[in-house]
Amino acid sequence: MALEGGSHVTHVEPNGSRSRVARVYDRVARIYDVYTAPMDWTGLAGRRQRVLGRARGDVLEVGAGTGRSFRHYPPGVRVVATELSPRMLARARRRLPEADVPIDLEVADVQDLPFEDRSFDTAVASCVFCSVEDPVRGLSELGRVVKADGAILLLEHVRPRGAVPGWLADVASVVTRRAFGFNANRRTEGNVLAAGLDIEDMRRDGIWREIVARPRR
């Protein structure tokens, strides 16, 4: 499968940066739903519903944010939702009544998940790996905690194709990373493969990617 943006992958040693990401999202937690709402209005909510509709069994959601995904889970699943920022997770707790499935909340870092190997049937991440300092490490963790026949469902925005749009995303990331915690120029397709996962299915729509990956056998 051809990768967007070439074969470059993002791999950064944390060096204490996980707490930096947590601080950023603690700071923006009160306004997070306000400045991300336009993305939902322009199609993100539908993409999220489509991706999460494929979840089965015991589900791990990483980077749950303020819980905007909770209402999209299909019947019959059981969810553990994790988030690095305690303040974001506190806001997610308010959305638990929107869910039709049981959801437990836990503060955890996707780069160092506190779960046994092969614990979950499905892992879910929605707009998460634009923020993780070491996305390859985080994706590898999902591969570790998902069962051998399980699925990793990702909804992510990536670096735009083309020299000029890509350059603009690189420039924008300098600001967005500091102010809002996310990068606009991640090459998530390559990062998935670098993490030892196989891409089984992928839907491309502009900068958006809906990815179904599995642990590499």
Domain count, the chain: 1
Report if residue 1 sits inside a domain.
Answer: no
Let me know if residue 185 belongs to a domain.
yes
For residues 170-187, one letter each, b for 16 or more C-beta atoms within 10 angstroms of the residue's C-beta and e for the rest, the string is eeebeebbeebbbbbbbb
* Residue 160 domain-assigned (yes or no): yes
For residue 67, the domain's CATH number is: 3.40.50.150
Bin 82: left if φ > 0, else alpha if -120 < ψ < 50, else beta. Answer: beta
Domain that holds residue 60: 17-215
Determine, yes or no, domain membership for 11. Answer: no
In a domain, 6, yes or no: no
Cα distance between residue 152 and residue 147, in whole Å: 10
List the pLDDT tens digit at each of the 217 positions of the chain: 434 444 343 333 344 444 688 888 898 889 878 878 777 767 888 999 999 999 999 999 999 999 999 999 999 999 999 999 999 999 999 999 999 999 999 999 999 999 999 999 999 999 999 889 899 999 999 999 999 999 999 999 888 788 887 777 777 777 777 766 677 778 899 999 999 999 999 999 988 899 999 998 7
List, in sequence order, every beta strand (DSSP E) within 11-135: 58-62, 78-83, 103-107, 120-126
Q: Is residue 8 part of a domain?
A: no
